[in-house]
Structures are given as structure tokens and as C-alpha cells.
Amino acid sequence: MASKIQKPRGTMDIFSKEALLWQKIEKKASETSELYGFGEIRTPTFEELALFKRGVGEVTDVVQKEMYTFEDREGRVFALRPEGTASVVRAIIENGKAGDAMPLRYYYLINCFRYEKPQAGRSREFFQFGTEMFGTQDASADATVISLANTLINSLGIKGVSLHINSIGCPNCRPMYREALVEYFKSHESELCPTCQERLKTNPLRVLDCKSPICSELAKGAPKTIEHLCPECSEHFEDLKSYLEAQGIDYTVDPKIVRGLDYYTKTVFEFICDNIGAQSTICGGGRYDGLMEQLGGPSLPGIGFGMGITRLILAMEASGAADVCEKVPVLYIAPMGKDARKKALEIVSSLRNNGVYAECDISARSLKAQMKYADKIGAKYTLILGDSELEVGKAQLKNMAESSQEEIDLSQICEIILSK
């Protein structure tokens, strides 16, 4: 016997009932985005490696440790996308969308790939809903994007979620903060985990959100970004808070929120769900005002977020909001013999053409097995078709929930079912 082939580690198989929950989330995400004026964008699953090195940052964990890369037959190096923003920026530049009416607003539902240790809420192929807005640097844009995320989370019935916000400054004020941060952690360098000792040289802001208990404790005494903001960034952050308050959106200023990608500036935020375990961030995003120029485009400030679908599902389950109903057939026809099967196919085809879910046996099972199957799939009505029913043109329509029967004219079966 040949050995079994299994799915790659960190990926998942999603079957029909579970897929209904995914479809619910995707539908809500699309509807909410469109309510805010965002249109869908679809980009390639893989891009040139250089895009993510320049856009995400060469010293980030994503680029250094987590990307899936490959060479094509012509020796060009590509990467499976680890996130969505860089691809959207590339698409805007390449397709000349910077000349469209501002602000540009896009949303996407994509799969991404990162070589990470699989655990609850984190996989190597993961699925993400994201939004991107370009062309406005006002804090009201930040508040609008955060409001969109908040609206979606509420519409999915997720409870126990809190919004955490911070500002990490801009290229003008961040060097001063970085200097203060490095100075602080240098005095504790021997206590840091090996990863953070390396981050201290390349990306010291990442030390602030390390999950190591020792690093987390040290981070509590570190200088705060909001204490080192320039006047412009400070005003922007104060405006953001006032705009969130105007919309009735509660928030917590959290100095530990820095996000892990190099392109972030000013506003960063996370929606945190406390009852789904360690991977508690169900949405993360922020502003990236220099990314478009960094990738060779015009100066267009940007703001956006990403939501992991599997984490949303965990949060919905914890909130008791993950119930979905599988669609059941209105009618199941149990035919006995080829002539009956032909008539059954004729009837269900007519019903399907009228938007009604109907089924009939296509496996030549016994009548007993067919009725057992009809009950298992939850059919609302069943109809047994044999030679005698075909001969007289009448059959017994059974209401499965009530165990009642009525004789119906086969020529009127579609009209009767459509009226049910």
C-alpha cells in the first residue's frame, strides 16, 4: 500500500460546515468595507522577493526568518506573500492608481505564508482580511480605518475586545526615541533573551513587544514612544484620540504596541481579545506614510490593518457567536428504478433552476437507505417515486418534521414546493 500524503505542517483543510463560518466572516468583511467606501483588490500570491525586502524591511523577523522563497526556471527569486500591504502598494504604483480620486481605499481577503511554529491562531498558511487607505495624512483617516475594524468585530458578535493604540513617531522624532531606548536596554542587555539582544542592534522597538516574561518585565520600565514625539506627531495622536471619542470608540493608550514591520509611522493599533489564549491580537495595523515612496511611487501617506480569519473564528467561538446553519434540501426524491430516477432528475432540475435546493438519489440505493439519508441531511420534504406513482401521476409528499403526508399531483410538484 502506498504511503499516505499529508497536508504540509501549519496548513489546514476546511470542510463545508466550517467553510460556512468562513463565508460569513468574508461576507461581513466585504459588506463592512463597502459601507466605508472601500473596493476590493486582488493581487498575486507571490511577488518578487525584493518587494518584501524593501517594503517590509530586511531586518524584520518576517524577511529574515519567515518567508517562503523560490527561484523560477529563469533564476528569478520570488516569495509567497507574507502580508498584503506591500503588494497593494506595488499594484497602485504599477497600475498608475495614484492619479485616481483620493483617498484610495481598498480591501482584500487573501492567504499569506510565514514559516512559523504552528499553534492555536497561528499557522504557516494563514488567511487575512485587510484594508488600505492612501492619500490622506489627517488623523480622521486613522479613526475611520479603526472604526471600520471596530464595526466588523461588533457585527461578528465578538465580545471581550479592547482597542489599544500608540504612536511610534515619524522619521524626525523616532531617532531620538531609538537612542533613548537603546541606552535603556543596553544597561539590561545581559538579561534580554538572545532574540532581543540581536533586535537591540537592528530593530530595538521590537524588544518592547517580546513575549518573553523577562523582556516584558524590562519593557515596563523602558522609555515610552509618546514621551518622545515631535509636536506634529503629538498633535496627530491627540487628534486621533478625540476622533475616536467622537465616534464612541473606547481605547487604551498602550506603549507596548509597536507592530513588527519597518514601514509603520505615527499611529499603531491592535484589537485584543482576552479570552482566546496567547495569540490574542485579532486585528493589527497602523500608519505607513513613507512606504509608497520607499517602493518607488509618489508621496502618498497610508493607513490600514490586517485581521487573521482563524483568530476571528477563535474569538467568535469564545463569544458563542460561531453557530452557522448548513443549508438543507427543501425536497428529497427517492426514486425506485431508472424511469423514476429520470423523472426525479427532471423535477429537481426544475426546482434548482428556480433557486430551490432539492436532491434525489444518484447512488441507486435501496428505499430504506434513501429515507435514512434524507433524514440525515435534514430534508424538509420527501417524495417516493416508483412505477405506480409514475403510472397514476400522483405521489405522497411527506413533511419530515411533522411526519404527515399529502397526496400531490406530480405535474404540480414544482409549484407546490415553491409555495412551501
Phi, psi of 305 (to 5 degrees): -155, 165
349: domain CATH number is: 3.40.50.800
CA-based nearest residue to 89, from 62, 55, 57: 55
User: Which pLDDT tens digit goes with each residue over 138-179?
Assistant: 999 999 999 999 999 999 999 999 999 999 999 898 888 888
pLDDT at 190: 85
pLDDT at 64: 79
pLDDT at 218: 86
> Do 170 and 232 contact (CB within 8 A), yes or no?
yes
Question: By three-state DSSP, how is residue 412 classified?
Answer: helix
Is 399 contained in some domain?
Answer: yes
- H helix intervals, 138-281: 139-155, 174-186, 194-202, 213-219, 231-246
Cell numbers given for 252? 487604551
Domain boundary among 318, 344, 366: 318
Does residue 302 share a domain with residue 415?
no
Domain boundary among 263, 288, 318: 318
User: Which pLDDT tens digit goes with each residue over 268-323?
Assistant: 999 999 888 777 899 999 999 999 999 999 999 999 999 999 999 999 999 999 99
Is 107 contained in some domain?
Answer: yes
Task: Tell me the residue ranges of DSSP E strands in 277-412.
Answer: 281-287, 302-308, 331-335, 358-360, 381-385, 394-399, 404-409
pLDDT at 188: 87
Does residue 245 share a domain with residue 346?
no
Does residue 295 share a domain with residue 169?
yes
pLDDT at 216: 84
Place of cell 516584558: 216
Say how far apart CA 17 and CA 26 lie, in whole Å.
15
Question: By three-state DSSP, how is residue 386 classified?
Answer: coil
Say how far apart CA 329 and CA 79 lie, in whole Å.
44
CA-based nearest residue to 257, from 274, 233, 281: 281
CA-based nearest residue to 304, from 100, 91, 66, 88: 88
Is 289 contained in some domain?
Answer: yes
Range of the domain at 392: 331-419
pLDDT at 260: 61
pLDDT at 278: 73
pLDDT at 332: 98
Domain boundary among 272, 289, 318: 318
pLDDT at 276: 85
Is 214 contained in some domain?
Answer: no
**Residues of the chain falling short of pLDDT 50:** none
Does residue 339 share a domain with residue 286?
no
> Which pairing describes strands 69-71 and 46-48: parallel, antiparallel, or unpaired?
unpaired
For residue 151, give every residue at least 6 positions away whose Cβ sits within 8 Å of its Cβ, in sequence order, or none: 32, 35, 36
Question: By three-state DSSP, how is residue 377 classified?
Answer: coil
The pTM for the full model equals 0.90
pLDDT at 262: 64
pLDDT at 261: 60
For residue 366, give every residue at least 6 positions away whose Cβ sits within 8 Å of its Cβ, in sequence order, or none: none
Does residue 269 share a domain with residue 408?
no
CA 243 to chain centre: 26
